[in-house]
Amino acid sequence: MMKLTFGLLCMIFLFSCSKKENKKIVEIEYYSEPDTIQLQKNITEKGDIESFLTLMRIYETPEDTLTSKILKYSFIMADKYNYSKANYLIARSIIRKEMHTNNYIEIKNLDEKNKIIVLERLNKCSNQNTIVCTEVLIDYNKSIDNISEVKKLEEKLDSLIN
Measured in degrees and rounded to the nearest 5, phi and psi for residue 63 equal: -55, -35
DSSP-assigned letter for residue 129: T
Tell me the one-letter amino acid at 129: N
pLDDT in tens, 55-110: 988 887 665 555 678 899 999 999 999 999 999 999 988 998 888 888 888 999 99
Output the CA angle 121-77-75, nearest 5 degrees. Answer: 50
Is this model's pTM higher than 0.85 or not? no
- The whole-number pLDDT of residue 30 equals 55
pLDDT-derived band at 54, boundaries 50, 70, 90: very high
pLDDT for 122 equals 97
